[in-house]
Structure 1
């Protein structure tokens, strides 16, 4: 009678290893698909906002390069699911616009940050409805070369000193040329108007008498100017202006702003 051998059974360990590998592969595929969907959805929303901001810039008779929009935070999908976004960055390079009296004000970069943004899922999916930012802040720089042109007086130099705007210019007084220096007071007015007035004026080498002071003050009054900041997108209005080494830094703000509206 011949020997009977039992049927060989493949070890369970190999099957478990194969199942684990299969699970990992499927997981990677799912994660890859989620990442692609995340990027596609984010890009779509960024393009939509960029197009609307570009329309606003055009409607305000201003110009800039195509707005570069970045939705901060990852993953995008989870933000879509809850309909809230922490921050959206909007950069408008080479922004310029009319500033009255046939003048144009230019900013190398208008850096806009929208925070506490609410956008329902249906709005992202269909492109209809409003994407509303709780607060929007924009920062741009007006260089001193443009400001000197606004002053319109020969020899004027503008600079920042200890966080304040200072001005200097050569002045003819009593037959001699002296350098007059002063510190400016910057005041933000309605209508995006920045008022610049000089005070605390000094001039070395001149006698301290009413006639000389009157001549200097008369000249200083000519240094005063108003900077009319161009109409900004997203309903931004000027809130603060400060002197920096490169120029005047203009900070504007707004609240409850629609990011995907082409209106003013």
Structure 2
């Protein structure tokens, strides 16, 4: 019996050593995969960040350095397939010109590129196109900025029950009255048309002279809001009043995301 037991112990030790070796090899392989994932993702993030930064500069706009993140795991599976689930691009403090002396500022322009195609050869060599099937972006124009763009003294705009509401003082009959009304927003050829309607003022006499005065003032409040050029070919698709400001949503399709697609 002593000989039997003596022959089994070395086999058990050898089996444990083999298991430990395999585990170490698996850990090393896992680390290499993580590194490969990060290298591939970093290339895509740098290429896209450089492209967006160049477009912002070309459009005479400004922002902080683009913050680009490749979403979805595992990265390597996406790299091998040449397809990425989603890439997020954040442009903080985006500001773009809308006229010779006016700009629109957005605290954050949040862009999402989906169904992104990036062939493995492009990732390896840096040559070729990274293309997004769809790109969407959203930014907020605060209400003081909107009121300043309209340019009528004393005008204040805000959101109420999902509507854009404006109020301003007006002189009539030797007194100052506060008039208020709801704005209709219409998107036409990428321009947001702001038109106030149903303007009223508590206590203001409803006589033709006063009504003409109010109507003329309302006409001066009409404004065509031209959103500044956005990167990646984004075109304005919707505007929506929210408590924090006027939210602008834009979109584009089949968009090249790196310099190779220019």
Q: What's the TM-score once normalised by structure 2's chain length?
A: 0.94
Aligned equivalents of 1:221 and 1:75: distance in 2? 57
Aligned equivalents of 1:262 and 1:78: distance in 2? 23
**CA-to-partner distance for each residue in 1:48-104, whole Å, 9 max, x for gaps?**
110111111111111111111101011111001111111100011111111013211
Aligned equivalents of 1:262 and 1:208: distance in 2? 64
Cross-structure match for 2:175: 176
Q: Secondary structure at the match of 1:230?
A: coil
* Change over 3 Å in CA distance of 1:239–1:123 after alignment to 2: same
Instruction: Spell out the pairing of 1:14-33 with structure 2 (5 A cutoff).
Output: 14-33=13-32
Aligned equivalents of 1:262 and 1:171: distance in 2? 56
| Stretch moving more, 208-217 or 76-85 | 208-217
Q: Secondary structure at the match of 2:231?
A: coil
Is 1:109 aligned with 2:103? Answer: no
Aligned equivalents of 2:97 and 2:260: distance in 1? 19
Instruction: Spell out the pairing of 1:118-157 with structure 2 (5 A cutoff).
Output: 118-157=117-156
Aligned equivalents of 1:41 and 1:151: distance in 2? 47
Aligned equivalents of 2:179 and 2:204: distance in 1? 10
Cross-structure match for 1:59: 58
Cross-structure match for 1:212: 210
Cross-structure match for 2:238: 240
In the comparison of the two structures, how many residue pairs are matched?
259
Aligned equivalents of 2:261 and 2:210: distance in 1? 54
Is 1:256 aligned with 2:254? Answer: yes
* Change over 3 Å in CA distance of 1:258–1:97 after alignment to 2: same
Cross-structure match for 2:162: 163
| Displacement after TM superposition at 1:246 (Å) | 1.8
Aligned equivalents of 1:248 and 1:210: distance in 2? 34
CA contact (8 A) 1:56 1:262 kept: no
Q: What's the TM-score once normalised by structure 1's chain length?
A: 0.93
CA contact (8 A) 1:64 1:93 kept: yes
Unaligned runs of 5+ in 1: none
Aligned equivalents of 1:229 and 1:165: distance in 2? 17
CA contact (8 A) 1:195 1:227 kept: yes
CA contact (8 A) 1:133 1:258 kept: yes
**CA-to-partner distance for each residue in 1:209-236, whole Å, 9 max, x for gaps?**
3222111111111112121111110000
Unaligned runs of 5+ in 2: none
Give the RMSD, CA atoms, in angstroms: 1.7
**CA-to-partner distance for each residue in 1:182-235, whole Å, 9 max, x for gaps?**
000111121x32111100111110222322211111111111212111111000
| Displacement after TM superposition at 1:130 (Å) | 1.0
* Change over 3 Å in CA distance of 1:74–1:225 after alignment to 2: same
Aligned equivalents of 1:205 and 1:261: distance in 2? 62
CA contact (8 A) 2:182 2:199 kept: yes
Is 1:231 aligned with 2:229? Answer: yes
Which structure dedicates a bigger proportion of its chain to helix? 2
Cross-structure match for 2:198: 200
Aligned equivalents of 1:90 and 1:60: distance in 2? 17
